[in-house]
Chains A and B, each alone.
Chain A
Amino acid sequence: MQEVVEVPLSVDERWDLIDTISKQTVEFGAYKHTLKDAIAELTVKPLTGIPVAIAVIYGFWSFFCDFAGTLFTDGFMVRLFDEHWLPWLQSVFPGGLGNPIYALMVDAGHIEDGVLVASDNCFEAFGVLTSGLFVPFGVVLWAVLAFYLIFAILEDMGYLPRLAVLVDTVLHKIGLHGYAIVPTFLSLGCNVPGVTAVRPLETRKQRFMMITLLSVFVPCGAQIGIMQDLVPELMGWIFLTLVIGYLGFGFILNKIVPGKSPEIIMDVPPYQMPTFKNIMSKLWIRTSKFLLVAVPFVLLGCLIVGLMYLTGAMDWLVAVFGPLLMGWFGVPSETVAPLIAGFLRKDLAVGMIGGLMEQGIMTTFQVFTSVVLLCIYFPCLATFALMIKEENWKELLGSLASLVAMVFIYGGLIHLVGIMLGVA
């Protein structure tokens, strides 16, 4: 007697079956070329697509600067914090200048001609209640809101896959796929969702490269917001430096990391009208996530750095690492403090550079170098925690090793270029 065994269909048999089914059920009518199709083509064909992409990104950036920077931060928040909040706290908080609790919470002050003087802005004051609140609520919140508003609209329309098609050729040169633009863009908001979005990349090599490049070269929205507020005139150079680093080190990583970078085929979905409800709900989820994660870390960062100054630990670190920073990267030894804060929050760290700028101990080129260094030297704690989750230990070590190598090579290179141009 023969036993009947069930065998799953082979791939061909399954397609044959689908063919018979669809012949009986699906009817393809004449295809009409719609306005939607016309727009879709305009944004994908290089000749028109590249200008459109530039216009979109330029529009994005202008909105970001005008809405977050000019309107909210400069127009309202800086005045609120520097002219009202800070003087008020300085007048009512017990202790006064020189008192350790006062220094931690309100204003550490700084030495000018051998005299300890009070700060007149919230970048410099560096207390938990001053800088600690000014950085997230005065600057970063508005940047994050502006970023995610535009990003959600682009996302829901379906523009990102089209951008992916456009940049596909360039990214293939560094072993990545056009899809890499999606995690990159997401990382410009926050590296955490960016690193998660790496999963659809096919090989371990691509995922490893992508995570490493994201965590090193892509600054987050919080960081961009505060950089824009602090050094708007340097933003072009900063982005250029980061893009060159991203592409250059991507190229090198692609050569030295074993594995394949196969083509992946991605659907380009039809354009859709974004719905107000979905945009608002995304904006709410993302912004509230930012507030929940960022604010405690910023406050904690302020406290830790403040304590390190008070206990003398910071002076010790400055003495130990100062020569390396000065010699190799060409930045003043005081940059140690922001670099320490950068482990926790990059936005806070950039804010501290603002404090150093106000005290006049940095040249423009040093500000530029230290801001770039802050971007690339270590992912923030939240991103690092996620890297531990997403990568195996070998890849994690690899990421960290590449990170250290990139920071030293690139940081040194920037210093060298500065010396040759005579600005360092």
Chain B
Amino acid sequence: MKILLMGHPNVGKSVFFNRLTGAKVFESNYPGTTVDFMKGWMRVEGEDVELIDVPGTFSLEPKDKAEEVSVNMLEENRDCVVVCVLDASKIERGLYLALEIIEKGYTVVVALNMWDVAEDKNIKIGVEKLEQILGVPVVPTTAVSGEGFKELVSRIKEAAPVKIEEIIKNAGGGGSAAVSG
């Protein structure tokens, strides 16, 4: 099994990577710290799993060279699990990337990172409801202090691909997307 860490720039993917693998990758508080992917190993329920830290990207339509690296990484690893790291204080735009990855048929786990920042900003997120709609594990995390990591790792095995139609149905309409032609 392979796990890809994906998400917007500066949501804490490198901190995830360091925490999960014990490796030393640069963590900095500005977007664009990681411009090339990094590989490391972590253990999921006794099994050695390769973890890849992918440069931050806003969407799957690459806009610069670092984003190109990310999209290529995703395409080269069709059978991987994607841990999609979202900034919980800016959840909507993070969801855009998560949905794009889900639509492509990948197995996704959502980490709502920077949970502490969201709390500071008085943003409340119904994690269970979100999980129910998306149909994938959703785990709040605070990477800098390590909160939520145990749960995240323990739930990677639960994840399975979801059809976007399911999500639309669970959300109760909204986008009427599945077009028949």
The yes or no verdict on A and B being binding partners is yes
**Contact residues of A with B, CB < 8 Å?**
2, 4-9, 13-22, 24-32, 34, 36, 155-158, 160-161, 164, 179, 182, 196-197, 199-202, 207, 266-267, 269-272, 275, 278, 281-282, 285
CB–CB B95/A29 < 8 A:
no
Give, as a whole number of angstroms, the nearest-CB distance from A328 to chain B.
38
Give, as a whole number of angstroms, the nearest-CB distance from B35 to chain A.
4
CB–CB A9/B64 < 8 A:
no
Give, as a whole number of angstroms, the nearest-CB distance from B58 to chain A.
9
CB–CB A199/B64 < 8 A:
yes
Give, as a whole number of angstroms, the nearest-CB distance from A323 to chain B.
44
The reply on B178 being an interface residue by CB < 8 A is yes
Known contacts A25-B133, A200-B31, A202-B64; is-contact A267 B24 (Cβ 8 Å): no
Known contacts A25-B126, A269-B10; is-contact A155 B30 (Cβ 8 Å): yes
CB–CB A21/B133 < 8 A:
yes
Choose from B24, B32, B103 the contact partner of A9 (Cβ within 8 Å): B103
Choose from B28, B122, B172 the contact partner of A156 (Cβ within 8 Å): B28
| Interfacial chain A residues near B64, Cβ < 8 Å | 199-202
Give, as a whole number of angstroms, the nearest-CB distance from A157 to chain B.
6
| Interfacial chain B residues near A9, Cβ < 8 Å | 99, 103, 164, 175, 177
Most chain B CB atoms below 10 A, which of A16, A158, A196: A16
6 closest A-B pairs (Cβ-Cβ)?
Answer: A29-B122, A20-B174, A158-B29, A200-B32, A13-B175, A199-B35
Whole-angstrom distance between the alpha carbons of A14 and B177 in the complex? 9
| Interfacial chain B residues near A164, Cβ < 8 Å | 30
Give, as a whole number of angstroms, the nearest-CB distance from A421 to chain B.
41
Known contacts A24-B129, A25-B125, A29-B124; is-contact A17 B174 (Cβ 8 Å): yes
Over the window 119-141 of chain B, the binary record of Cβ atoms lying under 8 Å from chain A Cβ atoms (1 yes, 0 no) is 01111111101100110000000
| Interfacial chain A residues near B120, Cβ < 8 Å | 34, 36
CB–CB A20/B173 < 8 A:
yes
Whole-angstrom distance between the alpha carbons of A25 and B36 in the complex? 34
Known contacts A24-B129, A24-B133, A285-B24; is-contact A17 B99 (Cβ 8 Å): yes
Whole-angstrom distance between the alpha carbons of A164 and B31 in the complex? 11
Choose from A4, A24, A31, A271 the contact partner of B171 (Cβ within 8 Å): A24
| Interfacial chain A residues near B27, Cβ < 8 Å | 156, 278, 282
Whole-angstrom distance between the alpha carbons of A31 and B118 in the complex? 11
6 interchain pairs, CB-CB under 8 A: A13-B177, A15-B96, A20-B172, A21-B130, A155-B28, A266-B31
Whole-angstrom distance between the alpha carbons of A116 and B120 in the complex? 72
The residue in chain B whose Cβ has the minimal distance to the Cβ of A6 is B178
| Interfacial chain B residues near A31, Cβ < 8 Å | 121-122
Known contacts A199-B35, A202-B63, A267-B10; is-contact A18 B177 (Cβ 8 Å): no
Give chain B interface residues in 134-178, CB to chain A under 8 Å: 134, 144, 164, 167-168, 171-178
| Interfacial chain A residues near B95, Cβ < 8 Å | 18, 21-22
Whole-angstrom distance between the alpha carbons of A6 and B164 in the complex? 10
CB–CB A26/B91 < 8 A:
yes
| Interfacial chain B residues near A16, Cβ < 8 Å | 174-175
| Interfacial chain B residues near A200, Cβ < 8 Å | 9, 31-32, 35, 64-66
CB–CB A197/B171 < 8 A:
no
Choose from A2, A196, A267 the contact partner of B31 (Cβ within 8 Å): A267
| Interfacial chain A residues near B1, Cβ < 8 Å | none
Whole-angstrom distance between the alpha carbons of A422 and B123 in the complex? 66
The residue in chain B whose Cβ has the minimal distance to the Cβ of A286 is B26
| Interfacial chain B residues near A271, Cβ < 8 Å | 29
CB–CB B99/A18 < 8 A:
yes
Whole-angstrom distance between the alpha carbons of A25 and B124 in the complex? 8
Give, as a whole number of angstroms, the nearest-CB distance from A189 to chain B.
12
| Interfacial chain B residues near A282, Cβ < 8 Å | 26-27
